Amino acid sequence: MKNDLSFLIAGEMDLYEHQSTWNPNMPYRDLVYIADLYSGYVEEHHLDIYGSKAIRLPTPKAIVFYNGTKDIPERMELKLSELYEVKCEDYCLEFKTLVLNINYGKNRKIMEKCRWLHGYAALIDRIRKVLSDTCGSGGTGSGRMHPGRCPGRFTEKASG
């Protein structure tokens, strides 16, 4: 299992994911990614996990850049404990994932600092509008795509 991007800098293990579909299971997925990265870290640094001395691990941080069509807040936190069948108050494993909504018009401070992300958000917004106007339901607002109404450039697949 691989995550989109991860790196280790100054004692922090940062994971970044891009999601265009809503996925409330990201804390679990990120925990699996982190466990895999930790395993490699421990092996690479020859750390003794069975010894009497505590080992030092990089601090994990997980961030998801979300640009799907589900309306979510600009910033939200997903918790692993929200996936548990039985709610637990004490001594339960917790892992949190920060979700940033990067749809056009959201998270303006981030967009101002990163023109590439702003451009990407604007492009996706424009594509959605064009597809909705051209392939949509004729103004009924159902949001369903009708490929038969789409111009060829949106429905053709590259061949060869």
Average pLDDT, the chain: 86
User: Is residue 156 assigned to a domain?
Assistant: no
What average pLDDT does range 116-144 have in this prediction?
A: 77
User: Is residue 154 assigned to a domain?
Assistant: no
Say how far residue 103 (Cα) sits from the centre of its chain: 13
Does residue 121 share a domain with residue 76?
no
Full domain range(s) for residue 129:
105-138
User: Is residue 160 assigned to a domain?
Assistant: no
Q: How many Å apart are CA 124 and CA 65, to the nearest integer?
A: 14
> Predicted confidence band at 1 (pLDDT cuts at 50, 70, 90)?
low
pLDDT in tens, 139-151: 444 555 555 556 5
Does residue 129 share a domain with residue 96?
no
Q: How many domains does the chain have?
A: 2
| 77 Cβ contact list (under 8 Å, min separation 6) | 96, 97, 98, 99
pTM of the predicted model, to two decimals?
0.78
Does residue 111 share a domain with residue 77?
no
pLDDT in tens, 60-77: 999 999 999 999 999 999
